[in-house]
């Protein structure tokens, strides 16, 4: 009798423990949770009830807790072969993605709460974006630059798809872009030729710019010199006119004085050479001042 009673008590205790453990659930740090009751998501005020880290209760055997990791996730794509716009050149792209869940319910509905499913969808979208983007570019553009622009574009486009499954793309990084061995030599030779053409064009543009600057400088110099000559001629003309005016005014005031000065100037010019010989008549007007000074 006691044995049967002990068994019954043990069964009751086991059922109670099962009931207790079935009515609680624990959400760890970095996770969030929501409840599904009879196939429907439990809501409060028409919004899914989200449970933060800690100990929570649910209706045993009726409610199911769905716990979602909302920490930053990442995955790598080791090598994707992508064709460029030349169609006969293929590049090998290695990249990695960082993402996290931002909408628990949408993430669960679209992926079943599976991380691998979400990453497969992200990978598919990124590969499609890479093919579309690289398909518009030449291989030299892909290899030599614009990588940051491509990564920003990939992140923007992929986030549109990611939002549909309740996640956000935090970062997309291209780790490496390689060429298959069979096309490396020809591609780098083409790149070298392109660089040479660009350098030649830059030198040509530089020479043209220098010639233009010299022509403009010569033109400006010619204009400045012409303007200076014009100003100088005007100043000389004004000076000559003033001199004539002053001379005329002075001459009209004292004609005798000016005749004396002019005669003396003529004497000076005639006699300033030590070896000069001048033969003149004493009756010449040249000696008029010597004979009859006025």
Cα within 13 Å of Cα(217), Cβ side: 6
In whole angstroms, give the CA distance from residue 70 to residue 107. Answer: 11
73-179 folds as Tetrahydropterin Synthase; Chain A (3.30.479)
Mean pLDDT of the chain: 78
In whole angstroms, give the CA distance from residue 105 to residue 68. Answer: 9
In whole angstroms, give the CA distance from residue 126 to residue 279. Answer: 117
Assign 170 a pLDDT band (cuts: 50, 70, 90): very high
User: Would you list the domain boundaries of the chain?
Assistant: 2-69, 73-179, 262-294
> Please, are residues 96 and 76 in contact by the beta-carbon 8 Å criterion?
yes
What is the pLDDT, as a whole number, of residue 26? 92
285: DSSP letter: G
What is the pLDDT, as a whole number, of residue 169? 92
27: DSSP letter: E
Closest C-alpha to 92, from 102, 105, 78, 103: 78
In three-state secondary structure terms, 72 is coil
User: 238 or 191: whose pLDDT is higher?
Assistant: 238
Task: Specify the residue for token string 């499609």.
Answer: 128
DSSP 102-167: S-HHHHHHHHTT-HHHHHHHHHHHHHHHHHHHHTTS-HHHHHHS-HHHHHHHHHHHHHHHHHTTTE
Output the CA–CA distances (angstroms, integers) from residue 221 to 56, 209, 210, 264, in the order listed.
Answer: 89, 18, 16, 47
Question: Is the pLDDT assigned to residue 293 strictly greater than 60?
Answer: no
Closest C-alpha to 120, from 68, 153, 75, 156: 75
In whole angstroms, give the CA distance from residue 200 to residue 270. Answer: 73
In three-state secondary structure terms, 45 is coil
Cα 87 from chain centre: 29
Structure tokens at 11: 């069964």
In three-state secondary structure terms, 67 is strand
Q: Which of 81-85, 90-94, 278-282 has the lowest mean pLDDT?
A: 278-282
Assign 271 a pLDDT band (cuts: 50, 70, 90): low
Instruction: For 5-43, write each residue's pLDDT tens digit.
Output: 777 777 888 777 777 778 899 999 999 999 999 888 888
């Amino acid at each position: 009798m006691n044995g049967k009673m002990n068994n019954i008590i043990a069964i009751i205790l086991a059922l109670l423990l099962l009931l207790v453990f079935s009515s609680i659930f624990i959400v760890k740090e970095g996770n969030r949770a929501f409840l599904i009751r009879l196939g429907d998501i439990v809501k409060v005020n028409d919004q899914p009830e989200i449970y933060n880290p800690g100990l929570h209760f649910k209706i045993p055997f009726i409610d199911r807790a769905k716990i979602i990791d909302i920490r930053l996730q990442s995955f790598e794509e080791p090598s994707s072969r992508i064709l460029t716009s030349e169609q006969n050149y293929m590049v090998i792209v290695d990249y990695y993605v960082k993402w996290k869940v931002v909408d628990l319910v949408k993430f669960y509905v679209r992926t079943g709460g599976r991380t691998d499913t979400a990453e497969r969808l992200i990978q598919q979208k990124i590969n499609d974006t890479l093919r579309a983007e690289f398909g518009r570019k030449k291989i030299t553009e892909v290899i030599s630059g614009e990588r940051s622009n491509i990564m920003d574009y990939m992140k923007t486009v992929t986030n549109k798809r990611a939002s549909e499954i309740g996640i956000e793309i935090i970062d997309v990084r291209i780790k490496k872009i390689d060429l298959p061995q069979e096309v490396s030599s020809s591609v780098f030779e083409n790149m070298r030729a392109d660089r040479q053409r660009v350098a030649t064009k830059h030198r040509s543009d530089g020479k043209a710019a220098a010639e233009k600057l010299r022509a403009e400088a010569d033109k400006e110099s010619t204009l400045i010199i012409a303007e200076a000559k014009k100003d100088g001629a005007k100043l000389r003309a004004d000076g000559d006119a003033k001199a004539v005016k002053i001379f005329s005014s002075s001459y009209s005031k004292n004609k005798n004085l000016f005749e004396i000065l002019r005669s003396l100037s003529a004497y000076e010019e005639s006699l300033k050479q030590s070896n000069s010989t001048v033969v003149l008549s004493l009756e010449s007007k040249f000696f008029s001042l010597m004979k009859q000074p006025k």
